[in-house]
Structure 1
Amino acid sequence: MGIFDSVFGKREKSAEERNQLPWIHLESLRQLDELVEKSKEKAQVIYKHSMTCGISNMTLRMFSDAYEMDTDCDLYFLTIQSHRDISNTVESQFGVWHESPQLLIIKNGKVTFHTSHGAIAEVNLKDYL
């Protein structure tokens, strides 16, 4: 830590600076259908995020910090305020009650694991892929 850091405090890195995760923004029902098809070859992960929820923002930050870039899955980012129709379809199609933040892992067209809130930060994705 430099002298100026100790006096003025070190600026926290932004989300972009911390970790550029390979997010695919989930913005259409067609994409959701494609995600289900792709899950037959490779695990697909959906992160449901609320822009207005402090817990969702904190969990996203912790998830991003812990994510290992060599994880073999596709990461989809679903902002629920912008795409509530998709969130509702995820709930009905997979039979998983909506929460946010929420993490779902889809393999072979089915949710094989899901969790929400602070528990997301504790998940090692590689254990479920």
Structure 2
Amino acid sequence: MGLFKNIFGSSEPKEEKLLPWQALTNVSQLSEIEKLSKTKTQVVFKHSTRCGISSMVMKQFVSAYDVDSNLDLYYLDLLNHRDVSNEVGYKFQVMHQSPQLLIIKNGTTVSHASHSAINEIDLERFV
């Protein structure tokens, strides 16, 4: 039975890991993110809900994320909030890509990555 379970997987549902995401849905939140970044690292994950690559990178990010990290996580559905996505680029001086991760400290972007490079960032360096 164990061989078949390994090959075909278990019928038991896996428990999904939940991250403490804050929805980024309004341009006005960017000023708050900038302000909060003076005392605590802020992370913005820009995600395209219709893109397979973006979904894969998001799953990898969630799987690898250390929930005890001392930072704030924002999730931006860029298809539903294009105006916010555009303003993120202007405010934090980063050219738009998707998926994309921005790390903001002291009001500025200290690191950013897109696609598979997102999961190569060591968030602990920025806490």
Give the TM-score of the pair, scaled to structure 1.
0.89
Q: Which residue of 2 aligns with 1:10?
A: 10
Unaligned runs of 5+ in 2: none
Alignment partner of 2:24 out of 14, 23, 26: 26
Task: Please tell me the residue identity of whatever aligns with 2:83.
Answer: D
Describe the shift of the 1:67–1:92 C-alpha distance in structure 2 as closer, same or farther (beyond 3 A).
same
Q: Which residue of 1 aligns with 2:95?
A: 97
Secondary structure at 2:73 match in 1 = strand
Q: Which residue of 1 aligns with 2:35?
A: 37
Shift of 1:9: 2.5
Alignment partner of 1:124 out of 81, 100, 122: 122
For residues 109 and 13 of structure 1, the distance between their equivalents in structure 2, rounded to whole angstroms, comes to 41
Alignment check: 8 A CA contact 2:41 2:126 kept:
no
Task: Please tell me the residue identity of whatever aligns with 1:10.
Answer: S
Alignment partner of 2:74 out of 63, 66, 76: 76
1:18-61 Cα distance to aligned partner (Å, 9 max, x none): 31100000011121111111111100000000001111000000
Question: Which shows bigger deviation, 107-116 or 29-38?
Answer: 29-38
1:77-113 Cα distance to aligned partner (Å, 9 max, x none): 0000010001100111111000010000001110000
Give the TM-score of the pair, scaled to structure 2.
0.91
Q: In angstroms, what is the RMSD of aligned CA positions?
A: 2.0
Task: Please tell me the residue identity of whatever aligns with 1:112.
Answer: V
Describe the shift of the 1:13–1:108 C-alpha distance in structure 2 as closer, same or farther (beyond 3 A).
farther
Identity across matched positions, percent: 48
Alignment partner of 1:49 out of 43, 47, 50: 47
Question: How many aligned residue pairs are there?
Answer: 127
